Amino acid sequence: MTKKSKPVRLCVEGATTDGRKVQRQWLTDIAKNYDPSVYGARINMEHLNYEWMPRFGDVESVYTEEISEGALKGKLALYGILSPTDSLIEMNRKRQKVYTSVEINPNFSDMNSAYLVGLAVTDNPASLGTSMLEFSAGADKAATFSERKQDKDNVFTAAEETVIEFTEEENKPEKPSLKDRIMAKFSRERQRNDVELNDIHQAVELCAEEQTETAQKLTRLETQVKALSGIKEENETLRSELDQLKKI
C-alpha cells in the first residue's frame, strides 16, 4: 500500500521570505508545468538542501484554486498531493513539522516560466517567515539565507500551517501496452496450440501402442492356429490308421 496525502495548501499568492511577491502567474505556471518525471520537488527540512540531509518524500502533483472565504478570499492558492516517507508520517502524527514552505524557481530551465523545485517542512512558521525577512535585511545574514536555495533567484514562500491527512492507495499494476497485449494473445494462442498438439501426440502414441498390441495378439493367434492345424492333421492321420485296423 502506498501512502499519499489528501490535497494540502502549499502556498498562496503574496508575500515571500525576501520581500518579493508570489505572483498569481507563477502558481498558474507551476500547475501547468509540474511533472515529477521531468523534475520532482522533494520534501526537505527547513529548506536545507545539503546532499547529506535526509529527504522526507515527494510532491506527486499540484493544482491551483481560488480561496473562496476568509481573509485570503479571492487569492490563488497552490495545492499539492504529497507522497511522504514513514519518518514524515510519524512526525506529523506527533504534530511536528506541520508548516510548509515551497521553493519556486521563477524562470526554470528552458521553460522560461515558474516551476516548483522544493517543499520544506518546519515547526516554526517564523523560521521561514518573519525571521527570514529579518535575515534578508543584512548582507551577511542574507547570504546565509541564500545558501539554502537551489538557485540564487529562487523564492521561498511564507510558511503555511499544513494539516496533512494521509490515505493509503493500492499499488495498481500498470496498464499493459498494446505490444504486451498482442504478445500475451499470441502467447495464449501458442499455449492453446501446444496443448492441442500435445493431445494429438498422445493420441497418436496411444493408437501406435494399440496397434502394436493388436499386432502382437494376431501373431500369437496365428501361432496358436498353426499349432491347432498340426494337431488336426495328427488326429486325421490317427483316425485313418484306426479305420484301417478295424478292416483287418
Catalytic residue annotation: 18, 47, 101
Is residue 31 a contact partner of residue 64, using CB atoms and an 8 Å limit?
A: yes
Residue 124, sorted as left (phi over 0), alpha (psi -120 to 50) or beta, turns out to be: beta
Angle at 235 between CA 230 and CA 238, to 5 degrees: 125
Task: Report which secondary-structure segment, H or E, holds 65.
Answer: strand 57-66
Contact 43, 121 (CB under 8 A): yes
Q: How is residue 81 written as a grid cell?
A: 498531493
d(CA 32, CA 21): 20
Which cell is 226 given? Answer: 498353426
